[in-house]
Structure 1
Amino acid sequence: MVEKEEQLGGLAHRLTATIEGANIGQYLQALIQKTSSHPNIQVMTQSLIVGFSGFKGNFTTEILVGPGMYSRKIEHGVVILATGAGEYRPQEFLYGENEHVMTQLEIADRLEKKGAADLEQVVMIQCVGSRNEENPNCSRICCQTAVKNALHIKKDNPQTEVFILYRDIRTYGLMEDYYAEARRLGVLFFRFKAEEPPRVESSANGVMVTFRDHVLNRDLAVEADLLGLSAGMVAEDTEELAAILKVARNAEGYYMEAHVKLRPVDMATDGIFVCGTAHSPK
């Protein structure tokens, strides 16, 4: 197992809990321990792939291992690409300029550490950095993450007003139940058009968010203690690795399968497979 970072886990280290309430951190640490201690698994962290040759059943991969970057060649039969994906870093809505503006991952971490007792009004904006020209994909997890954080806030502090501004709510499968629960608890949902996004300005106590209500046909303004941006999922930078392995990626940087229906986890090169968010948002 070749990992370029200091430890296994990737983006999962920033996750707190699932919408069902399972502790991700505990599961991740147990999985890392199980993997690292397995007698038939060798983990190489801080390592880079620099060479690759061969064919199915007879590949040779050259790796620079560890801080010392010593060279090692490994002969193997198959390759599984699990390079994952990351969180889009917003360039819009005053992110990085106003401390009251956070991504959903940052909000989840804040709620875990401080709770919601000090929050009076929270606004969340969906589809930030996704479903646009640069990244046309739906990231699939943004809506459920917003609903999860909204439920956390309302259960922590029922007096907090939570506004979710969305283009389409896409709580896949049974996640729809949590959307319905959020509505019952008083979370307010307002739809906006892609060509008319909310407007965000700094205010004395946080941020002022202005958006169009299509029922009232007028603009509404909310002064929020906290603005949550549902930042989309973006592919990891795998351009160099893809060139070394001679595998294809799509325009968004995700690995392309051999056939979307018949071979959804196979790459075009026999013996190379892709899994998880290295393939697409899931």
Structure 2
Amino acid sequence: MITPADLRTYVINLLRRPDRRARMTHVLPPELKATFTSDWRGLFDGLNLTRSQLDAAGYTLFPWQIESDNPWWARPLKYGEIGCTLAHLACWRHAAQTGDEPFIVFLEDDLVIPDAFLDQLLAGLHQLTRHGPFDLLYLGRFPLEPDHDQPVLDGFVSPGYSHCTFGYLLTRPGLGLVLAAHIEEAVVPVDEFLPALYIDHPRPDLRARFRRRLTALAFEPPLVSQRPKDEAGSDTERSAFVEPRDRQPEQGAANPRR
């Protein structure tokens, strides 16, 4: 039987957003003793992030901007996107070095959690572990392409290309596979990184850099959702674009999908 003791939980939260931390502390089930990234020092806040800091820390940015009809791919990365990715990476690394729980839950601080969240999560994991092994489980997401035709089990699908990382889970073997992709050597938005590990990514350059290695599943309907941007705001969208090292970052237009 799977219990809360089998879960390790992380919440992506910035030090300057104690309001979001307070809300998450209030809504999270007390059985989940979450670790908050706001308790760590790291290059997580896009409003305070610079190219020189990334270089000094040894992070290499993937050549993101390409000619494309997709407006997100046709513009530079934002510092907030990089900071978000590095926060997730810090959680993956911490989980790999700490504890031995078989399931690791990653939540962003604009998450909407139903009252029955923990019971539904534990019941779902019990059902899935009886079905067979998996690596990644979306608790919620934004599908960009159709999922695979046949449901895996009642309440679960094999996801197609999806965005958003406000709620997902990795098994311990899956955690090792994610870290083995070495996103620190080619930093991209975490929204794009995770799908590249379980589908043939629609961008050939990302598909070539990050090979498929995960078995992914998703709650359907989603177990959790995300607060609307007009209600919660977006620390990611408020940040500047990353410009070449010899130019000053400029504030750019928001990406409507983030």
Range of TM-score over shorter length: under 0.3
More strand by share: 1
More helix by share: 2
- Name the TM-score, length of structure 2 as normaliser: 0.25
Larger radius of gyration: 1
